[in-house]
Structure formats: structure tokens, C-alpha cells
Amino acid sequence: MRELTEQEIVRREKVEKIRETRNPYPDRYEVSHSLLEASKLADGEKDVSVAGRIVFLRKMGKMSFLKLRDIDADLQVSVKIDLIQEDEYAFFKENIDVGDFVGAKGEIFTTHTGEKTLRADSITFLGKALRPLPEKFHGLQDPELCYRNRYVDMIMNEDTRRRFQIRMRFIKELRNYLDGCGYYEIETPILNNKASGAVARPFVAHHNALDLDVYLRIAPETYMKRAVVAGMPKVFEIARCFRNEGMDATHLQDFTMIEAYQAYFNYEDNMKFIQEMLKTIIQKVFGTLTIQVGDKEIDMGGEWPKISFRDLILKYANIDINVYNTKEKLLAQIQEKKIDLDCDTPIEQLGFGNLVDYLYKKVARPHMIAPTYLTEHPTSLSPLARANDLNPEITDRFQLVVNGAEIVNGFSELVDPQEQEKRLLEQAALKAAGDQEAMEMDYDYIHAMEYGMPPISGWGMGIDRVIQLLTGSENIKDVVLFPLMRPLDEK
């Protein structure tokens, strides 16, 4: 057991003292207003009852001030001996500390310094904090401590509270927008027999009851399209997904994404839809379409341009993927130009499509700051996307890139079951040859497709990634409430 600090010992002693007269952890308290609601009330409003955590406390002889906090607001409370019973004021002064929870009831007024305040005529103890909060003026600043102790980070840092308010508001507006457009929200399995729906390395688990290995989903895609087969023309899911790949400032192995599918749409329809949707949501959440990311101002207004894989790589690497159009030719060019690709899998084991993707990510993506649609992906990179009618070597696919980050991925869906079977067999061969990010054969999905699919276009968006962008956060963990961390020594 760890050694307690002096403050922790004192707080534990106070708990025992509190037990002599009352329960230090009562079961409820009647609240009439949230702290935010109370902070907006007119002076003279009586019988206002609030509760929260004490983040500031100044005890004086016959009058004390404290500040209560939750994620939405702070509210000052004044406690005066002539308004509450003398023994209750003595209890308050002796036993209550910063970090504790209290309830307060009384009248709203504004101090001479202009601060909205509750003049308490009763104060109720609601819970003791056994650990003290960090120093008032320093808060919690170390990033790793913030990730490990997000609850303290939220208490102490206003910027953190703002980021998660933005995240929650964004998701709410996203749901509202899709609901207004007639989409059904559905749920799909997290445990899957096949690692399908995206090109990525999966997590593997074992299902004891069925005695078989299963995969944590890397995307809900194939089940979403099964729902379209079932007769739902517009579907979406906000889904927790898992990809057993590298970590960096813009990637996590477990993350939240949304996928949405609409029958009778193609990828160009969805590019227009997403542009309008994101502009509407950003305007509602921020009141502007200009977002600040570090020292850059990014204008999300206007028309978002389109650019092809080929043009981007030609511009930034001087390699024409229409000329170097096989794995062997492109690999030779990459090696000749000494371009070091950031890839966990040896690049010699990658297929042509993944080689193109890693090359683009290395040489071109960091230069894409304003919102831009990347198009004309190689077919081998997009095994679930519809091939272009004029050029079957590319697909009707797009990615929205902003500030060097891929925000949205979408395409016209491949709905031909025979072509889909052929593509998945090619992916299975790549996987057998060592490409860990290639997809597996999924005959159950083919079986569903054979019942008939209408024209479909779908898209996916990383919620964490888009919130990271919109809040100008340096690390994606900054916008994930409780990111996975390597455990510390319990001692």
C-alpha cells in the first residue's frame, strides 16, 4: 500500500469525525437548478438549490466564500453565520475542504464586483474528497498525467472542459442532422467472424462459449450494407472500432467513428451531402466556419476542391502512378528516390494499392491544409468500392483531407457480388503473401449481396480526428475522455 500524504491523513480523519453526526456520503440532494442555470438567474430569485464540487474556498470568521464547479459552469456561494445555524457553520469550517461536494440553497444576488452569487441559507455536505486537488495556480499540466487522471484534468483545466463540451455538442448535432435527413441509427456487432469493412490489422480475441477466435470490428461497413439489403435505405452508426496498428498524434487503436449509407446515392452525391452537413454542424457549434488550428486559420466555407491520387503524387514525388502502375515498378521508383515510407509491414510485402496510399501519406498529405477531396483511389486499395465505369483501375471513392488529416472516407459501394468475391479473393491472396492490412474472404457478406443490393454510397468519419481538428488539439488523446495507457506499477 502506498504511503499517504499528510493532507490525505487529515482528510480521512475528517471523514471519521463527520460520521459522528451524519453520513459522509449521503444518497441524494434535491437540486432545483444546474450551476449554469443558476448563474443566469435574476437577482432576488429565492429557494435556489444547487450542488457541485468546491474548487475554491475562503473561510473567514463569520462569513465564507466558496466556488462550485461542474463541466458547464462555476458558481460562487456565500455562507454567512447569521443565515445558517451556528453549529452548521462550525461544522462547515471544521470539516469541509476544496474538492468536497456540497449542496447549497438560498437567494441569488450579484456582488459589487459583478459576480453572480448564491447567498446560502443552508449548506449540505455531500461527499469528502480524500485526495487534495492540484495547486490552484498550477492545475494539472503534464499531458500524460492529464490522460491518466482525466477526472482531475476536467476539474482543473477549462480548456479540457471546453474540448469535451465541443465533442458532445458535435455528436449531438451530427445525430440531429442525420435524423432530420431521414436516417435510421442502428447497431452492428463489435465481435466479428471476419476482419472486414476496411483495410487494417485487427485485434483478435477468443470466444470461450463458441470456442472460436473472433475479431474486434475494424469498421461496421459490411453489416451496415446488410441493413440496406434488409430494406433500410438510409442508415448510420456511431461505432467504437479497433485497429491493431501504430500510435501517433492522430491515431489510436480504439476510436470512435460514424459510418452512414444511403441507397440510390453515388459518391459525388455524398461529397455534396458531407460538405453541407459539416458546414451546418460547424456553424452551429462554433458560430463560424473559420477554425483556428495552431497558428493556421482554416476556412471551411466555399466549395471544397477535388484532386486525384495521381496528380498529388506527381506533384509532390514526381512519380506518375499511371506509368509505374504495378507493385514492382512503383516499389523500384520509391527505392530509387530514397523515399522512406512509414509502415509497420515491410513495404516489399505491400500490394500496389497500399504502396500508393503510403506514398501519398508520406509526400503529399502533410501539404493538404484547406478542406480538399482526394479522389481516384486504386482499385486494389478499395476492395469494397465500386470501380469507375471509364477506368476500372480506379474507384469512385473520395477522402476529405483537412490540415493533413483524413477526416472522411467514402465511395460508391460495390454492389456486384461476383466482382466483390473476385476482389476479396485477391485481398486474401495478398494477406497470405504477408500484407497484414489486406482483407479476408467473407462469404457471409457475399451471401447477403446475392439477395440484391441497390446503388449505394457510404462514408465514414473519425469522430476523434474531426474533434482534434476543430479544437486545434495537438494529440488525438486530448479529445478522448479516457484513452488507453500503459499501466503504471501499482505500488
Tell whether 72 and 200 lie within a shared domain: no
Look at phi and psi of residue 139 and say left if phi exceeds 0, alpha if psi is from -120 to 50, else beta. Answer: left
pLDDT digit string, tens, across residues 412-442: 999 999 999 998 898 888 888 887 777 788 8
Average the pLDDT over 244-270 and give the result.
94
DSSP 462: E
pLDDT digit string, tens, across residues 347-367: 888 888 889 899 999 999 999
Which pLDDT score, from 0 to 100, does residue 268 have? 97
> What is the domain-level CATH number for residue 46?
2.40.50.140
SS3 410: strand
**Residue 329 covered by a domain:** no
Q: Specify whether the CB–CB gap between 476 and 464 falls below 8 A.
A: yes
Domain total in the chain: 2
Crossing angle for the helix pair 158-180 and 463-471, nearest 10 degrees? 130
Tell whether 375 and 294 lie within a shared domain: yes
Tell whether 173 and 113 lie within a shared domain: no
**Residue 484 covered by a domain:** no
Tell whether 88 and 19 lie within a shared domain: yes
pLDDT exceeds cutoff 80 at 344: no
Q: Specify whether the CB–CB gap between 198 and 191 falls below 8 A.
A: no
Specify the pairing of strand 116-127 against strand 74-80.
parallel
pLDDT digit string, tens, across residues 187-245: 999 999 988 877 788 999 999 999 999 999 999 999 999 999 999 999 999 999 999 98
Q: Count CA within 13 A, CB hemisphere, residue 260.
A: 25
**Residue 356 covered by a domain:** no
pLDDT digit string, tens, across residues 398-418: 999 999 999 999 999 999 999
pLDDT exceeds cutoff 70 at 295: yes
Q: Specify whether the CB–CB gap between 279 and 468 falls below 8 A.
A: no
Q: Retrieve residue 111's grid coordinates.
A: 456582488
Q: Retrieve residue 30's grid coordinates.
A: 434535491
The pLDDT > 90 percentage for the chain reads 78
Full-model pTM: 0.90
Which pLDDT score, from 0 to 100, does residue 137 have? 57
Tell whether 474 and 378 lie within a shared domain: yes
Tell whether 118 and 77 lie within a shared domain: yes
Length in residues, the chain: 491
User: How many Å apart are CA 479 and CA 473, to the nearest integer?
Assistant: 8
Angle at 207 (CA atoms; ends 202, 212), nearest 5 degrees: 80
pLDDT exceeds cutoff 60 at 491: no
Tell whether 23 and 71 lie within a shared domain: yes
Tell whether 199 and 73 lie within a shared domain: no
The residue with greater pLDDT, 85 or 311, is 311
The residue range of the domain holding 396 is 158-305+370-479
